[in-house]
């Protein structure tokens, strides 16, 4: 359903891109009263994105189609949830839209593809339906949709605290860095399962007090490698979920092993709840050279791979 429409005037249609993220730091601090985990994270948008087109309709229907047949198009999809949420807030249930999703970010991969799609819908429908909600209002709605959605709305390089929804910009990021990202297409990991597995094995070490959480947040804000975050001062990468997913997931072990064999890798880790893994490079050129050199090997291992730079923005309207 891709069209040649110009998106310069958003009267009847528009397009939004929804970037993936990787976790440069994912630390689980403890368990919250709401059952979620208290986190201290550093997240980074990357230049791998879904493309979402919106077409205004007058039939009060919210309809989704997608080029990937493995994706649910029903009410459990964050795109539908986000569209219904923002329409409810608009107090105009007559508003209708047809949404077409071109899914480039792998599903169930720890890259926040679904969360980014949700954030893109809030941004896109606010514009298409001319609702006039402020960024602050969109941020509040985004937190209702999921823990990673506020990050996806802002994007770039951000600390994410609380259950992940409290975002704080990092003063000095470096968008010239790049990643090679790998994922076994036959493996996916459920995020709730990953957290419950972590709890099973580690809850005796959880912190319990807000003041102890704050010590960890302060530590993360001030660690030497964050200011400035550059290829000369590369992020060491940490992911607590990797400790429980890697030992039982060959796709993660093999992915990390492949990445560790590349030249010019600054650091590597699993992203989110996995199973995708990534290696950080000083710049896109050096990552691309290694990516091309190793593409056959990657294919022979049965992995999908991407080479992309860091990105300074989250979901973005295409003009």
Residues with catalytic function: 21, 148
Render the burial of 130-164: b for 16+ CB within 10 Å, e for the rest. Answer: ebebeeeebbebbbebbbbbbbbbbbbbbbbbbbb
Residue 37 interacting with ligand C5P (CB under 6 A):
yes
10 lies in the binding site for ligand C5P (CB under 6 A): no
Member of 4, 76, 136, 192 binding ligand C5P (CB under 6 A)? 192
Joined together, the tokens standing for residue 53 give: 């087109």
Among the residue ranges 34-42, 52-60, 67-75, 176-184, the one whose residues contact ligand C5P (CB under 6 A): 34-42
Q: 102: burial class by Cβ within 10 Å (0-12, 13-18, 19+)?
A: middle
Q: Which residue, 195 or 278, has its beta carbon nearer to ligand C5P?
A: 195
Contact between 242 and ligand C5P by CB under 6 A: the answer reads no
Smallest distance from ligand C5P to CB 38, Å: 7
Among the candidate windows 4-12, 52-60, 140-148, 288-296, which touches ligand C5P by CB under 6 A?
A: 140-148
Interface with ligand C5P includes 97 (CB under 6 A)?
no
Among 195, 278, 306, 310, binds ligand C5P (CB under 6 A): 195
Member of 16, 17, 20, 39 binding ligand C5P (CB under 6 A) = 39
* Smaller CB separation from ligand C5P, 121 or 287: 121
Instruction: Count the residues in the chain.
Output: 319
Select from 112, 235, 116, 222 the least CA-distant residue to 171.
222
Q: What is the distance between the alpha carbons of residues 184 and 302, in angstroms, rounded to a whole number?
A: 6
- Residue 7 Cβ, how far from ligand C5P at the closest point, in Å? 29
Site for ligand C5P in 267-306 (CB under 6 A): none
Contact 100, 2 (CB under 8 A): yes
Name the segment binding ligand C5P (CB under 6 A); options: 16-24, 36-44, 87-95, 126-134: 36-44
- Under the criterion CB under 6 A, does residue 151 sit at the interface with ligand C5P? no
Is 148 near ligand C5P (CB under 6 A)?
Answer: yes
Give the list of residues 6+ apart from residue 65 with CB closer than 8 angstroms, or none.
1, 73, 98, 99, 100, 101
| 172-191 binders of ligand C5P (CB under 6 A) | 191
Helix (H, G, I), strand (E, B) or coil at 312: coil
Which of 164, 255, 274, 314 forms a contact with ligand C5P (CB under 6 A)? 164
Examine residue 36 and tell whether it contacts ligand C5P (CB under 6 A): yes
| 277, 255 Cβ separation under 8 angstroms | yes
Residues of the shown chain interacting with ligand C5P in the complex, contacts defined by CB under 6 A: 36-37, 39, 146-148, 163-164, 191-192, 195
């Amino acid at each position: 359903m891709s069209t040649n429409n110009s998106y310069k005037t958003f009267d009847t249609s528009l397009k939004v891109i929804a970037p993936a993220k990787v976790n440069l730091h994912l630390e689980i601090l403890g368990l919250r009263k709401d059952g979620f985990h208290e986190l201290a994270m550093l997240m980074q948008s990357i230049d791998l994105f879904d493309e979402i087109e919106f077409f205004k309709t007058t039939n009060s229907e919210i309809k989704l189609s997608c080029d990937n047949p493995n994706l649910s198009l029903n009410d459990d999809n964050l795109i539908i949830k986000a569209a219904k949420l923002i329409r409810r807030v608009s107090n105009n249930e007559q508003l209708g839209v047809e949404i077409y999703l071109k899914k480039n970010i792998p599903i169930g991969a720890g890259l926040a593809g679904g969360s980014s799609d949700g954030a893109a819908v809030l941004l896109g429908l606010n514009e298409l339906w001319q609702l006039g909600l402020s960024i602050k209002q969109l941020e509040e709605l985004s937190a209702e949709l999921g823990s990673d959605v506020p990050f996806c709305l802002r994007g770039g390089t951000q600390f994410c605290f609380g259950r992940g929804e409290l975002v704080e910009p990092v003063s000095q990021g470096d968008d010239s860095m790049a990643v090679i990202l790998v994922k076994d297409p036959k493996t996916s990991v459920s995020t709730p399962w990953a957290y419950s597995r972590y709890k099973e094995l580690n809850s005796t070490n959880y912190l319990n007090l807000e003041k102890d959480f704050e010590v960890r947040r302060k530590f993360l804000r001030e660690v030497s490698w964050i200011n400035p975050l550059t290829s000369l001062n590369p992020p060491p990468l940490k992911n607590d979920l990797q400790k429980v997913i890697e030992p039982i997931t060959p796709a993660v072990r093999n992915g990390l092993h492949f990445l560790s064999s590349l030249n010019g890798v600054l650091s590597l880790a699993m992203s989110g709840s996995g199973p995708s893994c990534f290696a950080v490079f000083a710049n896109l050129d050096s990552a691309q050279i290694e990516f091309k050199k190793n593409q056959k090997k990657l294919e022979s291992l049965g992995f999908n791979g991407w080479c992309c730079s860091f990105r300074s923005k989250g979901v973005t309207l295409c003009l």
